Chains A and B, each alone.
Chain A
Amino acid sequence: EVQLLESGGGLVQPGGSLRLSCAASGFTFSSYAMSWVRQAPGKGLEWVSALSGSGGSTDYADSVKGRFSISRDNSKNTLYLQMNSLRAEDTAVYYCAKDQEVAAAGQFDYWGQGTLVTVSS
């Protein structure tokens, strides 16, 4: 059974940093691209970042480019999102999502339960 378990969310002040983790199990982690998708309270889904299965190719939404960094440790079956220079508009539930292919195509067949990030003073 595929499982994705996010952690690391919480309350952070504007300008602060946070690192999210996503522990994966039930599939060959290195064979699939992974993404982070967020959802602000009461709003729709917004894709944030993607990373290929090998970790060699990354993509970012314009809204987070230069501030967020995605990475993975295939030996630990874990995906990360380092978030720096956080802003109030980054407040959202962050979901870890598994792509259907080794190269990111943006079609997510499994999602974690999400972790809430709140940016506020």
Chain B
Amino acid sequence: QSALTQPASVSGSPGQSITISCTGTSSDVVGYNYVSWYQQHPGKAPKLMIYDVSNRPSGVSNRFSGSKSGNTASLTISGLQAEDEADYYCSSYTSSSTLVVFGGGTKLTVL
């Protein structure tokens, strides 16, 4: 079982907005702003989409945004496009015995 909890799947139609949640604890999401989101297409390496809860790396579309409230971080994708269909993982720095924890991943389907 993953340390961070994500829904297994979400879906949306082109042009719509979706939000993926990532629930943690006081040892990770609550206690630190080192929350990241990664996009992974089949057979490819993960790609950083959001870091420090809400910052976008250069080159990432502004359709992707991140936020955090209490023990839950969220990734919102607006104006869904077919190319957004992928697996998405959240991660957080943690004060537990392991440095980094990932969520179990969420499969986004664009209908």
User: With A109-B48, A113-B45 as given contacts, are A44 and B2 in contact (CB-CB < 8 Å)?
Assistant: yes
A46 vs B102: C-alpha distance when bound (angstroms): 7
Q: Give which listed residue, A44, A100, A104, A113, contacts B102 with CB less than 8 A.
A: A44
Docked complex: A71-121 residues within 8 A CB-CB of B:
95, 100, 104-114
| Inter-subunit contact A50/B89 (CB<8 Å) | no
Q: Which of B46, B97, B100, B101 has the most CB of A within 10 A?
A: B100
B63 within 8 A of A: no
B interface size (C-beta, 8 A): 26
What per-residue 1/0 map shows which CB atoms of B35-46 lie under 8 Å from chain A?
010101000011
B91 within 8 A of A: yes
Q: Who on chain B is nearest to A47 by CB? A: B100
A101 to chain B, nearest CB (A): 9
For A111, the chain B residues whose CB sits under 8 A away are 45-47
For B45, the chain A residues whose CB sits under 8 A away are 95, 111-114
For A100, the chain B residues whose CB sits under 8 A away are 51
Contacts between the two chains (Cβ within 8 Å), count: 65
Interface residues on A, range: 20 to 34
What per-residue 1/0 map shows which CB atoms of A12-46 lie under 8 Å from chain B?
00000000000000000000000101000000111
Q: Give which listed residue, B98, B99, B105, contacts A45 with CB less than 8 A.
A: B105
Docked complex: A49-70 residues within 8 A CB-CB of B:
50, 59, 61-62
B24 within 8 A of A: no
Q: Who on chain B is nearest to A49 by CB? A: B99
For A47, the chain B residues whose CB sits under 8 A away are 91, 98-102
A78 vs B100: C-alpha distance when bound (angstroms): 22
Q: Which of B51, B94, B103 has the most CB of A within 10 A?
A: B51
For B92, the chain A residues whose CB sits under 8 A away are 106
Docked complex: B59-80 residues within 8 A CB-CB of A:
none
| Inter-subunit contact B36/A62 (CB<8 Å) | no
B23 to chain A, nearest CB (A): 15
10 pairs of residues in contact across A and B, judged by CB atoms under 8 Å: A44-B102, A45-B38, A45-B46, A45-B91, A47-B99, A50-B99, A95-B46, A106-B93, A106-B94, A106-B99
